Structure 1
């Protein structure tokens, strides 16, 4: 994965965007569930690493709810916005190419929202997520949902070009289904993989969340 090829992702501001409307609510619910489990339901457990933290808006929202969040993103522009808007957070330039666990340690939870569709070497990315987790830790990843009925609806309504964003610089280059993302996570060593679809009715969902545990 070449960091220089994805470091130019553009951000207009340091606030939450439209996709966070459905994703953040789902993430908060999942984190609440984890708080009642052995993953974070212990002293020092409310720690999250945000891989692909972008402009820092999600990290800030989680910090406001009592989570200790650290994160990296390859976008120099995104990190500059994050550091200006949220100087109290540890958000720095970096990517899955780096030895993040050596730099930041390991965490009970790794969060990575709408990132995997942008990376050129998804196996490297999945290994980085796995390595950042403590034993028994949980990864929460999201990506735009793709499935038969949604793809058919896009084709029938003539929205396929807009959805696949071929003209978007630094945009989506991988288009994941539950099957393919599940295979990627299993290859990396994750267990207990499950998926939730968010936004609209499930067959036409905007995004999907993968929840996976490190043994």
Structure 2
């Protein structure tokens, strides 16, 4: 089995095993985080300003962020690697579309999306695999399409693995992740760093990017 296939299988199996417990967590998490909501709102406003178009949340899990984006006025669907997560999302939000797929090999046409949201979904990818994800995001987005990344931020330290509750994840310095996105054909629009809140362990990073045409 190749390294990407091994990584995908490990991640999907881990989320399948945790899916019911994971989906039982509160679905109004965003209610406690005004900065997170503001980032999503800024992304949605930017997409809407360009006119009609479809957005994909990649790595959507049980679907709450996909539903939030819908509530912000976007035509959105979700994609996830875990079959159990996709089933739970379809059950929870039957009015929304959810598909099984890998973020680095999407069954989507070139340039067909106005926006992509990766909300803590590249965190499990080994660092050397992340450029392939960004290349695929760029492929499926319109030339000037919008990208929103959310991730665990390392506070300036090098990219570091940590014991995520589902499977190994990585802390990223925001500058390094932004640089990889730029190398894939994106320009940075803005960034937000949020300090840990409540029981959170790590700082949260958010990058708003746009295709350079």
The TM-score bracket by the shorter chain reads: 0.7 to 0.9
Detail structure 1 runs of 4+ shifted over 6 Å in the superposition.
none
SS in 1 for 2:105: coil
Total equivalences in the alignment:
193
Whether 1:111 and 2:117 are equivalent positions in the alignment is yes
Give the superposition deviation at 1:170: 2.1
| Aligned with 2:60 (options 28, 53, 60) | 53
Alpha-carbon distance in structure 1 between the residues aligned to 2:30 and 2:115: 21
- Give the CA RMSD over aligned residues: 2.8
Alpha-carbon distance in structure 1 between the residues aligned to 2:68 and 2:189: 26
Per the normalisation by structure 1, the TM-score is: 0.77
| Aligned with 1:206 (options 198, 203, 206) | 203
- In structure 1, the residue matched to 2:132 is 124
- In structure 2, the residue matched to 1:189 is 185
SS in 2 for 1:117: coil
SS in 1 for 2:49: coil
- In structure 2, the residue matched to 1:16 is 27
Larger relative CO (CA 8 A, sep 6+): 1 or 2?
1
CA contact (8 A) 2:112 2:140 kept: yes
CA contact (8 A) 2:63 2:93 kept: yes
Unmatched segments (≥5 aa) in structure 2: none
Alpha-carbon distance in structure 2 between the residues aligned to 1:213 and 1:105: 13
